[in-house]
Structure 1
Amino acid sequence: MNIRNIAIIAHVDHGKTTLVDRILQATKVFRDNQETGELIMDNNDLERERGITIFSKNAAVEYNGVKINVIDTPGHADFGGEVERVLKMADGVILLVDAFEGPMPQTRFVLQKALHLNLKPIVVINKVDKPNCRPDEVHDAVFELFFNLDATEEQLNFPTYYGSGKNGWFNDSLTPTEDILPLMDGILKYVPSPVVTEGNLQLQITSLDYSSFLGRIAIGKVTRGTIKENMPISLMQTDGSIKKSRVRELYVFEGMGKKKVSEVVAGDLCAVVGLEDFNIGDTIADFENPEALPVISVDEPTMNMMFSINNSPFFGKDGKFVTSRHLRDRLMKETEKNLALRVVDTDSADSFLVYGRGILHLGVLIETMRREGYELTVGQPQVIVKEINGVKSEPYETLVVDVPQEYASKVIDLVTRRKGEMHVMETKGEMQHLEFEIPSRGLIGMRTQMLTQTAGEAVMAHRFLDYKPWKGPIPGRNNGVLIVKEAGTTTGYSLDKLQDRGFFFVDPGEEVYKGMIIGENNKPGDLVVNPNEGKKLTNMRASGSDAATSIAPKTLMTLEECMEYIQFDECIEVTPNFIRMRKTILDEEERKRQQKRLSAEAV
């Protein structure tokens, strides 16, 4: 069969999406005079802003008469759920590794999944044009990684290509070529055609698409039989029930888009229109004799957050969707395509517990919702604690930090204070490579401190390892916060007088409400302040006393930084135009009473 299905997997920032750009350009998907830009597959606003892939995507190219279905996957551990399911559509993988950094935590995670599914790997060592690169050492490290992951004899005999996605060449040696055609030839040579068994139709839904014109679209690989337009089928759901349905339209991938066809044979990827109430993992099977494929299993979430309606005094001023029904419907809709996400109802009708893979995973969901016009309040991220064999256990992660040597001691000190243990310390060029095992709780809020301690030089990556016994309390934020005493509008006069108390998250002239957090205190403990006081005006003037106030500009914090910053009694108010931090209980007297109650219970 003249089809190859290949997924591109790698650690974040090793160049997957750039490689897809080069494949699309080499196979003349675009006209020569067509303006394509960079990172063509990252078509979502959030992906382009952050420079990361969040959703896996498909493209199809033709090379030497063979159709190649290319699947671009995310590289961030938080979006591992995306990678796990789309690997089911592939027959081979291109494992991309940076020629300087070598295999990183996420490389190990995705490679383990690919080897487990018995996919044929091609290793591509990218960025060999970088200074300090060490392609031969990286090749040995990749071989060692394969060996440690119990790869078969055949998988260990992987072909290796070297090159630079940025400069547009790949070759099976370190000699630069004009283009990436040697790699394209390698895909045809080493990636097997889809294995097709005889029997009735089987197609597992591994991805979803949505069109306002066609509705929900199911995407998957036809593993057996042939699927045709207007054909009656059985939809076998993950809970064991079977629904009878009919295929309305069929599409295959072509270039960056889809092409309508009348039938798709086994081995190809296709999009099916006309099915209702399907989920990822369901099987489209024969109408008469349906047989289900094994259900897709995705690793468990490790973190949860409380999502509630916005109940601040500024409720409803900014967003379109503000009720608990809006919030619940949107979260349930997200769980249909985001396999690593879970939503659980709580005792309160206005709050939902949302489980995810990490701060970035949940942060992207919140950011997407606020752009769609939702208002909500989110609480502090909490790790999921389990009881295993009668022992209280929590998730642990492998943390890898590459940092200039002069900052290594600061990094080690910071991580060990948060209950991390160092396992590896080695020198890579001018950088120190450190590997730790640390409770997931210890990572919350660490990134900002790490960058401050290392003058922004540290490169940090982590991935889930396992559940291990609880490590005890981990120190959180050292300083308290500045809280607004009364609602009003901040004035330059007040903020100027309060500057020696700490730094601010607001500028003069901003609307604030009672209980809102407007800055960080210089000392431990929270401080209630009044930032709304105006200067008392008289008709007497004294030289020098009316000099213009000089206030330091406010500290801007991203959504993820706010999520890492807040403590258990605080939350974040998220609206389409504002992100504000506040105390969960706005009234100061009520907060004190709550504090007394908690202290009494602790005793």
Structure 2
Amino acid sequence: MNIRNIAIIAHVDHGKTTLVDKILHHTNVFRDNQETGELIMDSNDLERERGITIFSKNASVQYKGVKINVIDTPGHADFGGEVERVLKMADGVILLVDAFEGPMPQTRFVLQKALALNLKPIVVINKVDKANCRPDEVHDSVFELFFNLDATEEQLNFPTYYGSGKNGWFNDSLTQSEDITPLIDGILKYVPEPKIAEGTLQLQITSLDYSTFLGRIAVGRIARGSIKENQPVSLMKADGTIKKTRVRELYVFEALGKKKVTEVLAGDICAVVGIEDFGIGDTIADFDEPEALPIIPVDEPTMNMLFSINNSPFFAKDGKFVTSRHLRDRLMKETEKNLALRVLDTDSADSFMVYGRGILHLGVLIETMRREGYELTVGQPQVILKEVDGKKCEPYETLVVDVPQEFASKVIDLVTRRKGEMLIMETKGDMQHLEFEIPSRGLIGLRTQMLTGTAGEAVMAHRFNDYKPWKGPIPGRNNGVLIAKENGTTTGYSIDKLQDRGFFFVDPGEEVYKGMIIGENNKPGDLVVNPNEGKKLTNMRASGTDGATSIAPKTLMTLEECMEYIQHDECIEVTPNNIRMRKTILDEEERKRQQKVMKADSVG
């Protein structure tokens, strides 16, 4: 059977998942009267809420007698581990580029991986119906990017399609076509059929699925040979060991689901059930004469966080899983399918060090766990340091900011204060395009400041670059915090009297505890306040004589914003219903003692 394997790659928010929707609709995957909604492939609740793709997914469609396996990939740099693996399953890529923004850092990263694997590229310039779009300039900058990445003569001769995924048309010129037929015809024309080598079975596991009934499911593309149901096979692991096992069931992808089959031939992507203890990159090979495929390298994590059990006074108030055993089992289970994640035990039985690709990568894990009913405490994110040639080195990232011209100086000031260096400054339409090289530490907390300083107009993107020498201390949060003095319920009377001290993260009537962070101080330095004080009512002062209090609503912060906000002596309490910031040491006297000890140590 004719097969084409194609991955869709792009920077975050350039329209990959919308394009997959249009391909699924155009090839009649759904009944005419079927309600499908939008962003069909983003099936996870978190993906739908955030409007981003987190996990790569497979679908397949039939078109003109050809089976097209479509792989939707994440566009965010924190999930680069997903992209690196799944490109191994493809023979061609659709590189999607926004007609206004042009190539972005993640575009460069995924394209570099695709060209290195010698995949056939098709460039699609999306959103040509947007105001200020510049498709011709973007086409030139894409060509320049290919050239800079040492693309071959054949790769430089890429076909280009223009269109609007939202409006459902793509054409090989800027004239509007009726639908996306020209693009799907282009996939059949330009993407080669899978190259199949002669020899016995070889299937590299590039992804995994999980089912409560079937357990862990290995997903990959058959490089050569064929695989059958109940066939005895060898599992060749990354450490060189070979394990004899048997295939229990086989599935191929059909539309958005899987179809059970008895045999799959080389070139197709399939899911294998029944293999135990496999890892990503392992090879399923012939039983008698096994040969392994090269291991898939995955970029190392750049950030770590301490995950601990919840030890606040509100422990186990709204979580189902609260013990260290629950926490450890859940984190270990996550490492089975989340390649870029590492979990290490610490000196304490209640704490684990978790390593990931960035704040969003770790944030998505924490958010998923709290929705499953876990309670935990997480510390401040820290970058991972390495020693290179005897020097202390830290991770650096390429940061790209597009911002209206009047805010450009503000952005440059914010980034240079955090040890960033400007590499490129150019004008794109009404926007200023700025590129910096900045230590990863400098990015923690930068997004909030950037959006405040540019009235929400800045568009930020960053991508891990390399390890370079340590840049010295970077200033953290400017202001201190307001800390609750004792356990109790906040009152409107008390918060009203404290409003001139700063702004609050709690409303009247909320339960707080000693050591909990309830607001931000207007000045540097922390301030312990009592938000629970009630109004003294006497005969002289009846309840209605004072003017009604006017309290500003509390400032709501997302999990990622809290992770960027906290300092080294603070942590976040995460439960299914609440996200609270607190001091690691809740008792004020104990905190002061600790500070004295630390000062004495630093002087000594």
Q: Normalising to structure 1: TM-score of the pair?
A: 0.99
Partner in structure 1 of residue 458 of structure 2: 458
In 1, distance between residues paired with 2:48 and 2:450?
25
Is this contact kept in 1: 2:208–2:218, CA < 8 A? yes
Residue deviations 1:435-471, cap 9 Å, x none?
A: 1111111110000110001000000100011111111
The answer on 1:415 being equivalent to 2:395 is: no
In 2, distance between residues paired with 1:76 and 1:578?
26
1:541 Cα offset (Å): 3.1
Partner in structure 2 of residue 479 of structure 1: 479
Helix, strand or coil for the counterpart of 2:267?
A: coil
Helix, strand or coil for the counterpart of 1:94?
A: strand
Partner in structure 2 of residue 179 of structure 1: 179
Residue deviations 1:504-526, cap 9 Å, x none?
A: 00011111111000000000000
Cα RMSD, aligned residues only: 1.0
In 2, distance between residues paired with 1:309 and 1:429?
50
In 2, distance between residues paired with 1:227 and 1:369?
36
Partner in structure 2 of residue 230 of structure 1: 230
Which amino acid is the alignment partner of residue 396 of structure 1?
Answer: Y
Partner in structure 2 of residue 268 of structure 1: 268
Partner in structure 2 of residue 516 of structure 1: 516
Partner in structure 2 of residue 342 of structure 1: 342
Partner in structure 2 of residue 298 of structure 1: 298
The answer on 1:368 being equivalent to 2:379 is: no
Residue deviations 1:196-225, cap 9 Å, x none?
A: 011111111111111122222111101110
Gaps of 5+ in 2: none
Partner in structure 2 of residue 71 of structure 1: 71
Helix, strand or coil for the counterpart of 1:210?
A: strand
1:229 Cα offset (Å): 0.6
Pairs within 5 Å for 1:109-508: 109-508=109-508
In 2, distance between residues paired with 1:295 and 1:286?
17
The answer on 1:48 being equivalent to 2:52 is: no
Which amino acid is the alignment partner of residue 33 of structure 1?
Answer: N
Helix, strand or coil for the counterpart of 2:85?
A: helix
Residue deviations 1:59-105, cap 9 Å, x none?
A: 00011100000000000000000101111111110000000000000
**Which segment is superposed worse, 145-154 or 535-544?**
535-544
In 1, distance between residues paired with 2:308 and 2:399?
32
In 2, distance between residues paired with 1:387 and 1:369?
33
1:371 Cα offset (Å): 0.3
Helix, strand or coil for the counterpart of 1:84?
A: helix
Partner in structure 2 of residue 98 of structure 1: 98
Partner in structure 2 of residue 35 of structure 1: 35
Partner in structure 1 of residue 108 of structure 2: 108
1:543 Cα offset (Å): 9.5
**Which segment is superposed worse, 211-220 or 363-372?**
211-220
Residue deviations 1:230-270, cap 9 Å, x none?
A: 11111111122221111111110110111111100000000
In 2, distance between residues paired with 1:286 and 1:584?
54
Helix, strand or coil for the counterpart of 2:467?
A: strand
Which amino acid is the alignment partner of residue 336 of structure 2?
Answer: E
In 1, distance between residues paired with 2:196 and 2:28?
29
In 2, distance between residues paired with 1:457 and 1:181?
36
Helix, strand or coil for the counterpart of 2:37?
A: coil
1:542 Cα offset (Å): 6.1
Partner in structure 2 of residue 585 of structure 1: 585
In 2, distance between residues paired with 1:200 and 1:368?
41
Helix, strand or coil for the counterpart of 1:362?
A: helix
In 2, distance between residues paired with 1:600 and 1:117?
56
Is this contact kept in 1: 2:537–2:543, CA < 8 A? no
Percent of matched pairs sharing the same residue: 88
Which amino acid is the alignment partner of residue 331 of structure 1?
Answer: L
The answer on 1:575 being equivalent to 2:575 is: yes
In 2, distance between residues paired with 1:33 and 1:270?
30
In 1, distance between residues paired with 2:586 and 2:6?
53
In 1, distance between residues paired with 2:120 and 2:561?
40
- Across the two proteins, how many residue pairs are aligned to each other? 603
1:545 Cα offset (Å): 4.2
Residue deviations 1:545-571, cap 9 Å, x none?
A: 422221111000000000000000000
Which amino acid is the alignment partner of residue 223 of structure 1?
Answer: A
Which amino acid is the alignment partner of residue 501 of structure 1?
Answer: R
1:540 Cα offset (Å): 2.2
Runs of 4+ in 1 over 6 A off after TM superposition: none
In 1, distance between residues paired with 2:33 and 2:372?
35
Distance 1:589 1:543, change over 3 A: closer
Partner in structure 1 of residue 2 of structure 2: 2
Gaps of 5+ in 1: none
Helix, strand or coil for the counterpart of 1:411?
A: helix
In 1, distance between residues paired with 2:305 and 2:263?
45
Is this contact kept in 1: 2:13–2:52, CA < 8 A? yes
Is this contact kept in 1: 2:490–2:512, CA < 8 A? yes
Q: Normalising to structure 2: TM-score of the pair?
A: 0.99
1:601 Cα offset (Å): 1.2
In 2, distance between residues paired with 1:493 and 1:130?
50
In 2, distance between residues paired with 1:301 and 1:210?
24
Which amino acid is the alignment partner of residue 312 of structure 2?
Answer: S
1:539 Cα offset (Å): 2.2
